[in-house]
Structure 1
Amino acid sequence: MLAPRLAFIDVETTGANPVVDRVTEIAILRVEDGRLVERWSSLVNPGIPIPPTIQRFTGITDAMVAQAPGFDALKDGVRALFADCVFVAHNARFDYGFIKNEFRRIGEAFDAPVLCTVKLSRALFPQYHRHGLDALIERHGLECTARHRAMGDTDALWQFAQLVCGQFEAPVLETAVLKAMKAPSRPAGLPEGALEGLPEGPGVYLFYGENDLPLYIGKSVSLRSRVMSHFSADHRNAKEARIAQQVRRVDWQTTAGELGALLLESRLVKARKPTENRQLRETEAVFGLRYDGARKRGPVLLREALNGSDPAAWEAVYGAFRSKREADNALRDLAALYKLCPRRIGTEPWGEGACMAHQMKRCAGVCAGRESPDEHDARLLKVLESLRLRRWPWDGPVAIREHHGETGRSAVHVVDRWCLLGSVEDEGALGELLAAPSPRSFDLDVYRVLSRWLDSPAARGAVTPLG
């Protein structure tokens, strides 16, 4: 057998985060020397509402747990069932994290050696790609009378353990068990099980330290893999190592695809202002350059605030910049190539006489009367076209659809002139959004996300013009 004493367990919960979510059902099978000696299960009153999506998924409703005992009333029986046993579960650190945190809430410690049947399956059946419980049930012909209910899933695990014990020799099993009992790498300050509920699908993750201000917000097409990589021994840079040392809590929000994750990350970073995100935080000062040819002295390029404005109202506006330095660097490059006057374009203060660039033969001489302002500005306007934001490819708003097959999540993003008007999860809500759309409000980060996204032919294939 895998060990002399085993306790197979499955828990159903209000969500995937053991720090904030609670247990709604527990089932435990105690096995000694290969023989089932005790079978126990109970609904658990979590003390908090069960989200509707979880109720539909498990079939456990608020009404079902209303009269059930709380975990504090079950703790002694749970502890007795685990006495001297190995804690066995599928994706075991998830279940272990919930049990450990339930004990922590009532001021008690809980510890047990942990064996994960996902890892056991990977070690014994490396030829297969999928090792979720559904895959094991289908592949090995296991019986599960109630999928996503605690006792039904626990029964399936006990059958799987019996199957592998009969199929493999002891030395092979011992090696596989050692792999299956190895704990994943995680920061010392992160609670047990905090990472095991992470899904493999796309979304946004939030790292917290000692308070409710996020340390860092990131996105990925595979949340679980990306977050776990933050805590691997070989950190990619000093910033990741510093963040990993400070993390005390991890939260996440799933999306229907990569575009949704990119847009959600941008929005959350602006709203929450995490300390370790720099690039997406400061966006209020975004400006463009408006040409004013009527000015005979002083610069002819004036700043015009862009963020929050409607692109349809822009006229003779070029570029989008976060700082004067960024704008000046772009203009200096153009001035050097096309002999533009740094005084007239505003990268140097206005003064009398020829500018220094003209004396160095880098300015054609509008400042020294060698060419007219009209000649200079005709050249300027041509080169400024290279700074214009990309033309919106459609006549009006469009819908961009995303769907993630494994999670079943869908989303529709409505966009017009690079402005996100809103995102909804189904076609019914899309009708409501189109009936009362949000006004166009430019956001430089959303523009950059969308312009890169729509460079892909596959992405453009997901676009439907709305007329």
Structure 2
Amino acid sequence: MSLPRRLAFIDVESTGAHPVRDRITEIAILRVEDGVLVDRWESLVDPEAPIPPLIQQITGITDEMVAGAPRFEALADHVRSLLADCVFVAHNARFDFGFIKNAFSRLGQPFDAHVLCTVKLSRALFPEHHRHGLDALIERHGLQCGARHRAMGDTEALWQFVQMAQARFAPDALLRAAERAMKAPASPPGLPEGLLEAIPDVPGVYFLHAEPEAPPPGRSDRPLFIGRAASLRARVREHFAGNTRKGKDAELRERTRRVEWIETAGELGSLLLEAERVKRLRPPCNRAPEEGEDAFALRFIDNRRRPPIYERVPVAGTDPAAWADLHGVFRNRREVDNRLRELALLYRLCPRRLGLESGTTGACSAFQARRCAGVCARRETVAEHDARLRGGLASLGVKPWPWPGAVVVAERDPHSGCEAWHVFDQWCHLGSVDRREDLQAVDRGRRFDVDTWRLLGRWFGVPAHAAAVEPLAPAPS
């Protein structure tokens, strides 16, 4: 036989994509034996939790529809009998399998089966095509689907696809493809079945946790690691690839028991969210962010004969438009000293006058090495030295904001449909909204953050990114 004798085509609809946290709202099963459909069953399921509005919009299954439906525990025996001795067939099968396995697990019952994924089957049979989602299969092969995103409609489309494949391919070719489609992926230790398959192929930020369950509301839920990705699914899978035997990924693979994620509309949204969460949660496996809460700039002190000849001015949380005679933005003394050393070399400045070298009399070490013009040896006046210092400090100023006012960056992911509008002014992130009509509600107050400033400097340094901004309309009076 090119395919196993007993197949159970199955599709589940759910309250979300997480096989542990979310719940089943509908199940459909077609049991096929020796190529003949012998049983057809479907049922709504009470998830005992509200269905998010977006999920209701996608599936058409509402809270009212499932309110009187049986719970999974009432259906478990019948589901098990329909699946008994069958190969579990589904599209992105580990996702559906994970939901069924976890539903049985919550009842204290084990469940296992051989699994055949029709995504993998399509890839094996039609390698010339790049898209193998169910919508692509329906369009490419002319499959009939009476109700897309409803369990029975999707299940019937899969049964048609397999029938088409059996008619089109020789038994040995179909057998080889089925073997590839039934090959179980490496399952990371400690992660629930189907979790990696449930992660969407969209941009976003992910969180790797050591605790299998989220703590009660109000308690800290500090992750081991926070990352971002253009494809959440691909990036998280990289962490758990079989060749991660040493280093950070190996440690994460061993310690991770839960994965959470937040979808974003694009790369900029992921950058902003990752930076905010890493700074706030400080996960131990991320590179520790440098302290930036007390970010400061330098202000030159006129007519000061002895060091220090500049003062630190705190800038975190302030409005950059109100800054006057400030130079650079620094997180700590080390950053300041490194930049002043660079200026000393470029402009032949005295490290003693800059506060980089101790001593009060005699020439500095740089003068002896002919790298200082000699203010310390009375070879030039303090005014001459400080004029060059002022010129050097001017190069450290925050780059002028390129636009006359606040601007908007719009993002949209074509696969998920997720949209976002990010608002910026004077290198500050004023806020983000997921509806254009909410832009006017964004607080226009500017509060400087050094990490956001550096992030935006890199982002808007790309000409295509800078060209994509649009001005924010003035707030209504």
What range describes the TM-score normalised by the shorter chain of this pair?
A: over 0.9
2:118 aligned partner: 117
Post-superposition offset of 1:429: 0.8
Query: What whole-Å deviation, never above 9, does each CA across 1:134-176 have from its counterpart, x for those lacking one?
Result: 0001111111111000011001011111110111111111111
Maintained 8 Å contact 1:90/1:116: yes
1:322 and 1:405 map into 2 onto residues whose CA distance is 38
Letter in 2 for 1:293: D
1:83 aligned partner: 84
1:287 and 1:181 map into 2 onto residues whose CA distance is 59
1:304 and 1:180 map into 2 onto residues whose CA distance is 63
Post-superposition offset of 1:283: 2.5
For structure 1, which segment, 360-369 or 31-40, has the greater mean C-alpha deviation from structure 2 after superposition? Answer: 360-369
Q: Aligned residues: percent identity?
A: 58
1:101 match: secondary structure:
helix
Matched, 1:312 2:321: yes
Letter in 2 for 1:374: A
1:137–1:319: structure 2 CA closer, same or farther, 3 Å change rule?
Answer: same
Unaligned runs of 5+ in 1: none
Query: What whole-Å deviation, never above 9, does each CA across 1:223-260 have from its counterpart, x for those lacking one?
Result: 11111122223449711222222111111111111111
Post-superposition offset of 1:178: 1.4
Matched, 1:153 2:154: yes
Query: What whole-Å deviation, never above 9, does each CA across 1:410-436 have from its counterpart, x for those lacking one?
Result: 211110001000111122111222xxx
1:395 and 1:55 map into 2 onto residues whose CA distance is 43
1:426 and 1:301 map into 2 onto residues whose CA distance is 46
Post-superposition offset of 1:305: 2.1
For structure 1, which segment, 55-64 or 226-235, has the greater mean C-alpha deviation from structure 2 after superposition? Answer: 226-235
Post-superposition offset of 1:357: 2.3
2:181 and 2:4 map into 1 onto residues whose CA distance is 12
Matched, 1:415 2:418: no
Post-superposition offset of 1:184: 2.4
2:353 match: secondary structure:
helix
2:30 match: secondary structure:
strand
1:15 aligned partner: 16
Q: Which residues of 2 match residues 433-452 of structure 1 at below 5 A?
A: 433=442, 437-452=443-458
Maintained 8 Å contact 2:147/2:154: yes
1:321–1:172: structure 2 CA closer, same or farther, 3 Å change rule?
Answer: same
Q: Which residues of 2 match residues 1-400 of structure 1 at below 5 A?
A: 1-210=2-211, 212-235=221-244, 238-280=247-289, 282-349=291-358, 351-400=360-409
2:289 and 2:432 map into 1 onto residues whose CA distance is 20
What is the TM-score with the length of structure 1 in the denominator? Answer: 0.95
2:278 and 2:287 map into 1 onto residues whose CA distance is 9
Post-superposition offset of 1:403: 1.8
Maintained 8 Å contact 1:87/1:114: yes
1:82–1:281: structure 2 CA closer, same or farther, 3 Å change rule?
Answer: farther
Post-superposition offset of 1:55: 0.8
Unaligned runs of 5+ in 2: 213-220
1:6 and 1:189 map into 2 onto residues whose CA distance is 29
Maintained 8 Å contact 1:358/1:364: yes
What is the TM-score with the length of structure 2 in the denominator? Answer: 0.93
2:24 and 2:358 map into 1 onto residues whose CA distance is 67
Maintained 8 Å contact 2:290/2:331: no
Alignment match of 2:466 (pick from 456, 460, 466): 460
2:294 and 2:459 map into 1 onto residues whose CA distance is 24
Post-superposition offset of 1:281: 6.3
For structure 1, which segment, 36-45 or 183-192, has the greater mean C-alpha deviation from structure 2 after superposition? Answer: 183-192
1:442 and 1:242 map into 2 onto residues whose CA distance is 36
2:380 and 2:396 map into 1 onto residues whose CA distance is 24
For structure 1, which segment, 382-391 or 248-257, has the greater mean C-alpha deviation from structure 2 after superposition? Answer: 382-391
1:352 and 1:87 map into 2 onto residues whose CA distance is 85
1:349–1:237: structure 2 CA closer, same or farther, 3 Å change rule?
Answer: farther
1:237 and 1:280 map into 2 onto residues whose CA distance is 24
Query: What whole-Å deviation, never above 9, does each CA across 1:199-230 have from its counterpart, x for those lacking one?
Result: 22211111111273211111111111111122
1:345 match: secondary structure:
coil
2:187 and 2:381 map into 1 onto residues whose CA distance is 67
2:441 aligned partner: 432
2:158 and 2:282 map into 1 onto residues whose CA distance is 44
1:422–1:380: structure 2 CA closer, same or farther, 3 Å change rule?
Answer: same
For structure 1, which segment, 203-212 or 146-155, has the greater mean C-alpha deviation from structure 2 after superposition? Answer: 203-212
Post-superposition offset of 1:270: 1.8
Letter in 1 for 2:49: I
Post-superposition offset of 1:442: 1.1
1:438–1:125: structure 2 CA closer, same or farther, 3 Å change rule?
Answer: same
Query: What whole-Å deviation, never above 9, does each CA across 1:61-85 have from its counterpart, x for those lacking one?
Result: 1111111111111111111111111
Query: What whole-Å deviation, never above 9, does each CA across 1:99-122 have from its counterpart, x for those lacking one?
Result: 111111121111111110000000
2:424 match: secondary structure:
strand
Post-superposition offset of 1:310: 1.4
1:236 and 1:402 map into 2 onto residues whose CA distance is 37
2:330 and 2:108 map into 1 onto residues whose CA distance is 53
Post-superposition offset of 1:42: 0.9
1:166–1:282: structure 2 CA closer, same or farther, 3 Å change rule?
Answer: farther
1:186–1:328: structure 2 CA closer, same or farther, 3 Å change rule?
Answer: farther
Maintained 8 Å contact 1:301/1:346: no
1:345 and 1:428 map into 2 onto residues whose CA distance is 52
Post-superposition offset of 1:350: 5.5
Maintained 8 Å contact 1:266/1:445: yes
